[in-house]
């Protein structure tokens, strides 16, 4: 591809996933303050992804900039990234033995135009034991992940309906389709 791609995220998981479909791209953090007035999860992830992509695209007009944002929703409540071990523990235990939704919004900016889409997956957690949750928290993994877990490393998931990669932070299947159609 002759396009210059930029991932507007420093997430190692998004970088890994994008590498599966695009050989060469730059990584530039958007450094935006993530604020949204949206209450609908779909609108929320699209707005946040757009903020990230547009912040980087404003400095890189001729590049294709990809921004993404992922949230976990349990019973209508958005679970963000835990800041403390106690928050991580409470989040993970609230997911124990239950289903929740994972939304990822994507914004692609190029030459002053943007396109957005989102994906949603249903994730089922096994019943969690407090000792297992505490051991997982001790790894440090929960702190940079919505809902306090990483699909690739937690071992808590019994089923996923929808895209595994969406739960990981970038709906690669939909992104691949978009790139093939529009770029």
The domain limits of the chain are 5-182
For residues 82 and 71, give the distance between their C-alpha atoms in angstroms, rounded to a whole number: 12
Mean pLDDT for the chain? 94
Residue pLDDT, tens place only, 97-153: 999 999 999 999 999 899 999 999 999 999 999 999 999 999 999 999 999 999 999
Strand locations in the chain, DSSP E?
5-7, 25-27, 64-74, 77-79, 99-110, 113-125, 157-161
Which residues carry out catalysis? Answer: 69
Cα of 30 vs its chain's centroid, Å: 14
Cα of 103 vs its chain's centroid, Å: 7
What is the per-residue pLDDT for 35? 85
Fold adopted by 5-182: Maf protein (3.90.950)
What is the per-residue pLDDT for 2? 46
What is the per-residue pLDDT for 166? 97
């Amino acid at each position: 591809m002759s396009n210059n791609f930029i991932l507007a995220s420093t997430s190692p998981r998004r970088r890994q996933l994008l590498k599966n479909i695009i050989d060469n791209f730059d990584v530039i953090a958007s450094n935006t303050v993530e604020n949204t007035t949206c209450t609908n999860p779909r609108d929320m992830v699209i707005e946040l992804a757009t903020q990230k992509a547009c912040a980087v695209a404003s400095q890189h007009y001729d590049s294709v900039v990809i921004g993404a944002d992922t949230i976990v929703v349990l019973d209508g409540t958005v679970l963000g990234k835990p800041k403390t071990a106690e928050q991580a523990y409470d989040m993970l235990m609230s997911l124990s033995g239950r289903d929740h939704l994972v939304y990822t919004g994507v914004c692609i900016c190029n030459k002053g135009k943007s396109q957005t889409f989102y994906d949603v997956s249903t994730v089922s957690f096994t019943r969690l034991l407090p000792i297992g949750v505490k051991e997982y928290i001790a790894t440090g993994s929960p702190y940079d992940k919505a809902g306090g877990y990483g699909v690739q490393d937690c071992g808590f998931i019994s089923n996923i309906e929808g895209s595994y990669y969406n739960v990981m932070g970038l709906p690669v299947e939909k992104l691949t389709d978009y790139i093939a159609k529009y770029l």
